[in-house]
């Protein structure tokens, strides 16, 4: 029983070491390897902060890193100190957080060539405590330096999310394949705004065609149209208004297939097509007037769902 208890406690202590929290500053001490430790006098945060503050207030972050480098340089020439000094003098995109890793804590863990490993299994040399203290102070500087960019990023994310909602709610409705096609153009960067030009592909449209050659009768022909390729360009805010152009292929009741182009202004569609003639009729140009099928179907569906009898029909269809 006692042996089992000892084994359990050993396992618990091992897990605790594995999942211990990372290093952090606590006043003038640094919590490192599960204990508070005192750095050298030159690196005490309370003494360095007054020297750092003027540079932080004026956003002179290079000078602030320089203050830390000067304080650390006086504490020794060990390899860990030299590595951190080199990065403090050219911080670039480095993060200075210290991460627990089993029975060690690591600085620059994601940069193997620069990684500094602190072994927590034995007594810690003073220079490693100083390195950890300087790194955590440098992390505060980095966070302060990146704060404006993070705020801009948050604003960009908010604006892009609102634009996406406006596009889906107010813009030219997309068929599933158009949704996929335009989705391929979305940027992986939060800084990139949402596109203002939407591609149109294999889009069905309905309408009528008017034979411009026979002005006397002005024959009307019901027509089904397909837009193989085109675009719309949004104007103004909110993705509520647009204009666009597309190539079009039509099939009318009286004159068969035709090809041409169309112009779109919001949900209004107008265009011109050319139909081949036959033995009795010459080639002719047709004026095309269309409606957007997707938008029309959505409106009809909304009207149907608002109709009181629709719920009864749906319930009846679902009952055995």
> Could you write out the DSSP letters of every residue in 139-183?
HHHHHHHHHHHHHHHHHHHHHHHHHHHHHHHHS----HHHHHHHH
What is the pLDDT, as a whole number, of residue 74?
81
Q: Looking at residues 303-311, what average pLDDT do you find? A: 49
Query: Could you give the 3-state DSSP secondary structure of residue 4?
Result: helix
d(CA 9, CA 226): 73
Out of 110-119, 174-183, 284-293, which region has the weakest mean confidence (pLDDT)?
Answer: 284-293
Give the ranges where 195-292 is alpha helix by DSSP (H).
none
Q: List pLDDT tens digits, range 129-181.
A: 999 999 999 999 999 888 888 888 888 888 888 888 899 888 998 989 999 99
Name, in order, each residue with C-beta under 8 angstroms of 99's C-beta and a sequence gap of 6 or more.
22, 105, 106, 109
- Can you read off the two tokens belonging to residue 174? 């997309």
What is the pLDDT, as a whole number, of residue 236?
86
List the chain domain ranges: 2-149, 178-318
d(CA 238, CA 193): 13
d(CA 276, CA 278): 7
Question: Could you say which DSSP state residue 45 is in?
Answer: H
Q: Looking at residues 48-59, what average pLDDT do you find? A: 91
Question: Could you say which DSSP state residue 23 is in?
Answer: P
- Cα angle 158, 147, 114 (rounded to 5 degrees) comes to 120
What is the pLDDT, as a whole number, of residue 190?
66
Q: List pLDDT tens digits, range 238-249.
A: 999 999 999 999
What is the pLDDT, as a whole number, of residue 311?
52
pLDDT band, very low/low/confident/very high, at 299 (cuts 50, 70, 90): low
- Can you read off the two tokens belonging to residue 52? 């750092």
Mean per-residue pLDDT of the chain = 82
Residues comprising the chain, all counted? 320
Q: List pLDDT tens digits, range 183-230.
A: 888 877 766 788 999 999 999 988 888 888 766 555 778 888 999 999
- Cα angle 179, 236, 241 (rounded to 5 degrees) comes to 55
Q: Is the pLDDT score of 120 beyond 80?
A: yes
Residue 60's alpha-carbon distances to 57, 66, 70, 211, 221, in angstroms, are: 8, 10, 16, 73, 73
pLDDT band, very low/low/confident/very high, at 1 (cuts 50, 70, 90): very low
pLDDT band, very low/low/confident/very high, at 122 (cuts 50, 70, 90): confident
d(CA 7, CA 183): 55
What is the pLDDT, as a whole number, of residue 21?
57
What is the pLDDT, as a whole number, of residue 315?
55
- Can you read off the two tokens belonging to residue 183? 């989705």
225 burial (CB, 10 Å; 0-12 / 13-18 / 19+) is buried
Out of 72-76, 205-209, 219-223, 276-280, which region has the weakest mean confidence (pLDDT)?
Answer: 276-280
DSSP for 293-320, please give it.
HHHHHHHHHHHHHHSHHHHHHHHHHH--
d(CA 238, CA 169): 9
d(CA 128, CA 32): 10
Residue given tokens 């948050």 in the structure block: 154
Q: Is the pLDDT score of 313 beyond 50?
A: no
Q: Looking at residues 71-86, what average pLDDT do you find? A: 87
Q: Mean pLDDT highest for which of 20-34, 50-64, 204-218?
A: 50-64
What is the pLDDT, as a whole number, of residue 308?
53
What is the pLDDT, as a whole number, of residue 157?
84
Residue 114, φ and ψ in degrees, nearest 5:
-110, 0
End-to-end CA distance of the chain: 64
What is the pLDDT, as a whole number, of residue 181?
92
What is the pLDDT, as a whole number, of residue 128?
92
């Amino acid at each position: 029983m006692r042996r089992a208890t000892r084994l359990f406690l050993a396992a618990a202590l091992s897990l605790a070491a594995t999942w211990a929290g990372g290093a952090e500053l606590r006043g003038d001490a640094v919590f490192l390897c599960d204990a508070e430790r005192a750095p050298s006098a030159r690196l005490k945060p309370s003494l360095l902060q007054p020297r750092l503050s003027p540079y932080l207030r004026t956003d002179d972050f290079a000078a602030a890193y320089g203050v830390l480098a000067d304080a650390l340089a006086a504490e020794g020439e060990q390899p860990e100190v030299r590595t951190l000094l080199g990065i403090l003098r050219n911080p670039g995109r480095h993060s200075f957080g210290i991460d627990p890793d089993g029975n060690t804590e690591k600085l620059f863990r994601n940069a193997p060539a620069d990684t500094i490993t602190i072994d927590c299994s034995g007594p810690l040399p003073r220079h490693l405590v100083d390195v950890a203290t300087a790194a955590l102070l440098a992390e505060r500087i980095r966070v302060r330096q990146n704060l404006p960019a993070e705020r801009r990023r948050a604003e960009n994310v908010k604006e892009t999310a609102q634009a996406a909602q406006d596009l889906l709610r107010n813009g030219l409705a997309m068929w599933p394949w158009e949704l996929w096609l335009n989705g391929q153009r979305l940027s992986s960067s939060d800084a990139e705004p949402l596109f203002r030009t939407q591609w149109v592909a294999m889009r069905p449209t309905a309408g009528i065609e008017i034979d411009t050659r026979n002005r006397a009768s002005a024959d009307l022909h019901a027509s089904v149209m397909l837009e193989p390729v085109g675009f719309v360009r949004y104007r103004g805010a909110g993705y509520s208004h647009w204009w666009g152009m597309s190539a079009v292929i039509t099939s009318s009741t009286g004159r068969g297939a035709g090809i041409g182009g169309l112009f779109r202004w919001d949900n209004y569609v107008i265009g011109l097509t050319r139909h081949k003639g036959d033995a009795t009729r010459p080639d002719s140009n047709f004026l095309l007037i269309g409606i957007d099928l997707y938008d029309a179907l959505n409106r009809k569906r909304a009207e149907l769902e608002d109709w009181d009898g629709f719920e009864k029909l749906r319930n009846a269809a679902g009952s055995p």
